[in-house]
Amino acid sequence: GAGVSQTPSNKVTEKGKYVELRCDPISGHTALYWYRQSLGQGPEFLIYFQGTGAADDSGLPNDRFFAVRPEGSVSTLKIQRTERGDSAVYLCASSRTGQGTDTQYFGPGTRLTVL
Amino acid sequence: AQSVTQPDIHITVSEGASLELRCNYSYGATPYLFWYVQSPGQGLQLLLKYFSGDTLVQGIKGFEAEFKRSQSSFNLRKPSVHWSDAAEYFCAVDSGGGADGLTFGKGTHLIIQP
């Protein structure tokens, strides 16, 4: 079946602009995660959804970052007033139930560049 | 808070030689442990995972890892590497609840010499 997909694959924006990054999880997966991977680093957890609700958003760096998953499937990560330090690869992952034993399946990521 | 340390930023191995990538974790209880591989332009792919039971776990692509509680380690091994194994390898830990995501190490870049 289809894996996790993310669009766009690349996004270049100017400092101060607003961006939206989209994630399509594996069909039927109730758990969805967003991570951010900076150059030379491992992925860093941002937010976790169980169904439509954000069960844990402790990883969001500040209030410029927001994510939604209105129908429990597709999720959008929204970044307001982008800064150069937001440049990174944003990864989305989904798992069947969200239990720790479940495998998280990752998408290819969206590379965000803020000029 | 849990943390993961991968001491080696880069490792170079000759094709056909054995490989061991190191991973140390910090967590109060027995964590759930994972190894992922990331190839250029590819998403992270799970190689193997450990939750409980047999401390030697087998994964895909001929990889295995051993959980050693006394050393807080979960090292990844492969008896004979192939050129296609060149990639970035990440060790990760989950506290078990799933709710706070995975905590990843900084990764080890594996280079294969012909």
pLDDT in tens, A86-112: 999 999 999 998 887 889 999 999 999
Confidence check: pLDDT of B99 > 70:
no
Residues facing A5 on adjacent strands: A24
Answer whether residue B95 shows pLDDT above 80.
no
Looking at this protein, which amino acid is placed at residue A34? Answer: W
Return the bridge partners of A26, or none. Answer: none
Over the stretch A62-79, which tens digit does the pLDDT of each residue have? 999 999 999 999 999 999
Please report the pLDDT score of residue B18 as a whole number.
Answer: 98
Given a contact cutoff of 8 angstroms between Cβ atoms, the answer to whether A92 and A34 are in contact is: yes
Give pLDDT tens digits for B55-64.
Answer: 999 999 999 9
Q: Measured between CB atoms, which of B96, B97, B107 is closest to A42?
A: B107
Q: How far is CA B66 from CA A33, A77, A92, B88, in A?
A: 27, 36, 28, 19
User: Using CB atoms, which residue from B4, B32, B41 is nearest to A100?
Assistant: B32
What residues have CB less than 8 Å from A64, skipping those under 6 apart? A79, A80, A81, A82, A83, A86
- Tell me: pLDDT of B66 over 60: yes
Task: Give residue B58's pLDDT.
Answer: 97
pLDDT of residue A109: 96
Core vs surface per residue A5-16: b (16+ CB within 10 A) or e: bbeeeebebeee
- Cα gap A55→A43, rounded to integer Å: 19
d(CA B54, CA B44): 25
Nearest chain B residue to A5 by CA: give it: B43
Counted residue by residue, chain A has a size of 115
Structure tokens at A100: 């720790």
DSSP assignment letter at B86: -
Banded pLDDT at A1 (limits 50, 70, 90): low
- Judged by CB atoms closer than 8 Å, whether chains meet at B44 and A33 is answered as no
Residue A76 CA, distance from chain mean position: 7
With bands split at pLDDT 50, 70 and 90, how would you rate the model's confidence at B107? very high
| Mean pLDDT, rounded, for B89-93 | 96
Strand partners, B33: B50, B93
pLDDT at B98: 54
How close, in Å, is residue B79 to chain A by CA atoms?
25
Which residue in chain A is spatially nearest to B9 when comparing CA positions? A40
Residue-wise pLDDT for A14-57, tens only, equals 999 999 999 999 999 999 999 999 999 999 999 999 999 988 88
Considering CB atoms only, which of B32, B51, B106 is closest to A42? Answer: B106
Beta bridge partners of A114: A13
Question: Where do we find the tokens 């890892």?
Answer: B65
Separation CA A72–CA A23 (nearest Å): 12
Closest Cα in chain A, distance from residue B76 (Å): 17
* Nearest residue to A106 (alpha-carbon basis) of A46, A25, A29: A25
| CB pair distance less than 8 Å for B102 and A40 | no
> Is the pLDDT reported for residue B16 higher than 80?
yes
Most confident listed range (A37-51, B24-38, B86-100) = A37-51
